[in-house]
């Protein structure tokens, strides 16, 4: 007789409760931080809006000049300004600019001749004046001499003298030595430098460590060797910035050439531009075209040198 054995049934395994992964608590930013971020965004938006408005105020007159220069003289003198001229755009004003001659003896148009005269009168004093100014700044910043303490304040004091009160004495002096109706009064004085350029370059040179100068002396360099091999290479951005400022000042000078130059073939660009404005007084398109032609060289120069110009101005202003 066989015995029946009951096969034990395994107890069901306890259900494994899946543990949910703990969720990260989302912390809300404090109200102060959110309000500060909003205020920052609002302030930036206001600043950008003001700058955009200011840019439009600056650009708007140039747009009028550009559009007027491409109009016919009838559309240019119309009582109501039109962005799209009824008679269409034309190069009539530019043709007059590049064909107008103040006298029959002139070989070049007045504006072109004035541009070349301006380069001839401005470039030499700009280059030589930059050299003499930087050399003076080097002496005032790194050299020791007895008259240094009172010469530099005296030089800065000349910047406080208005240029208008020196017009008559300068004219009398230049007339007595026979410089009137020659470009010499516009060239020779600028070759001796400018007080403002000396001031800015001295600020830059003051930031160069004196230990570098002493090490150069130990290597056998003299004063001029230190200036040309150490100071000049380190100050190229500042030199370009000051040279550009000097060139712009000479390029835009109108009073000096008007006083000292009396013949048409000697006129600079600004005087030639004024003559064109007087001749074509009732033809605004020609005057606007001449103004744009005179403006383009400065825009090109600034476009290629703006990096050095900005860095030179900033470094010259921060060095002490």
Q: What is the pLDDT of residues 177-207, one digit of tens each?
A: 999 999 999 999 999 988 889 998 888 888 8
In terms of Cα–Cα distance, which of 302, 186, 168 is closest to 243?
A: 302
CB-based contact 77:87 (threshold 8 Å):
no
* pLDDT tens sequence across 33-57: 666 677 788 888 899 999 999 988 8
Average pLDDT over every residue of 93-116: 86
Q: Is 89 left (phi over 0), alpha (psi -120 to 50) or beta?
A: beta
Residues 6+ apart with CB under 8 A from 184: 174
- Does residue 314 register a pLDDT over 70? no
Residues 91, 97, 98, 104: what is their CA dihedral angle, to the nearest 10 degrees?
Answer: 140
Say if residue 131's pLDDT is above 90.
Answer: yes
Burial class (CB in 10 A: 0-12, 13-18, 19+), 182: middle
CATH classification code of 104-318: 1.10.3720.10
3-state helix, strand, coil in the chain (%, to 5): 70, 0, 30
Cα gap 153→134, rounded to integer Å = 17
Asked if residues 126 and 245 have their Cβ atoms less than 8 Å apart, the reply is no
pLDDT digits (tens, 9 = 90+) for 278-295: 888 888 888 899 999 999
- 10 Å Cβ neighbour count for 93? 26
Q: What is the band of 311 on the pLDDT scale with cuts at 50, 70, 90? A: low
* Region label for 71, one of left (φ > 0), alpha (ψ between -120 and 50) or beta (otherwise): beta
The arithmetic mean of pLDDT across residues 8-33, rounded, is: 52
Q: Is 170 helix (H, G, I), strand (E, B) or coil?
A: helix
Pairwise CA distance, residues 54 & 173, whole Å: 45
pTM of the model: 0.76
Averaged confidence pLDDT in the chain? 82
* pLDDT the model gives residue 61: 87
Q: Provide mean pLDDT across the span 161-171.
A: 88
Q: CB neighbours (10 Å) of residue 179?
A: 18
pLDDT over 90 at 124, yes or no:
yes
What ranges do the domains of the chain cover? 36-69, 104-318
CA–CA dist 149, 235 (Å, integer): 24
d(CA 258, CA 246): 19
- Greatest mean pLDDT among 20-29, 35-44, 200-209, 262-271 lies in 262-271
- 5 pLDDT above the threshold of 80: no
CA 280 distance to own-chain centroid? 31
Q: What are phi and psi of 103, to 5 degrees?
A: -140, 160
Q: Is the dihedral of CA 159, 165, 171, 177 positive or negative?
A: negative
**DSSP code for 11:** P
Question: Which pLDDT belongs to residue 312?
Answer: 57
Among 163, 93, 116, 167, which residue's Cα sits nearest to residue 272? 116
């Amino acid at each position: 007789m066989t015995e029946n054995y009951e096969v034990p049934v395994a107890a069901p395994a306890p259900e494994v409760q899946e543990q949910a992964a703990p969720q990260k608590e989302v912390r809300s930013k404090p109200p102060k931080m959110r309000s500060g971020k909003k205020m920052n965004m609002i302030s930036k938006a206001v600043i950008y809006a003001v700058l955009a408005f200011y840019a439009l105020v600056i650009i708007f007159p140039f747009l009028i000049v550009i559009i007027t220069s491409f109009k016919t003289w009838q559309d240019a003198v119309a009582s109501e300004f039109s962005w799209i001229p009824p008679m269409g755009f034309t190069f009539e004003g530019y043709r007059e600019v590049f064909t107008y001659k103040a006298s029959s003896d002139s070989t070049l148009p007045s504006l072109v001749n004035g541009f070349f005269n301006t380069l001839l009168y401005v470039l030499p004093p700009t280059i030589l004046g930059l050299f003499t100014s930087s050399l003076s700044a080097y002496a005032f910043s790194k050299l020791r001499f007895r008259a240094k303490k009172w010469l530099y304040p005296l030089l800065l004091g000349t910047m406080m003298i208005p240029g208008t009160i020196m017009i008559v004495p300068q004219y009398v002096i230049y007339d007595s030595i026979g410089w009137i109706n020659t470009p010499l009064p516009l060239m020779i004085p600028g070759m001796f430098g400018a007080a403002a350029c000396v001031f800015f370059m001295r600020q830059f040179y003051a930031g160069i460590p004196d230990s570098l100068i002493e090490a150069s002396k130990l290597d056998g360099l003299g004063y001029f060797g230190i200036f040309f091999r150490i100071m000049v290479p380190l100050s190229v951005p500042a030199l370009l910035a000051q040279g550009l400022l000097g060139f712009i000042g000479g390029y835009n000078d109108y009073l000096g050439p008007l006083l000292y130059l009396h013949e048409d073939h000697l006129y600079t660009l600004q005087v030639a531009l004024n003559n064109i404005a007087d001749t074509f007084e009732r033809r605004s398109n020609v005057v606007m075209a001449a103004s744009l032609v005179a403006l383009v060289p400065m825009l090109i120069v600034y476009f290629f040198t703006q990096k050095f110009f900005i860095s030179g101005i900033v470094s010259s202003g921060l060095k002490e």
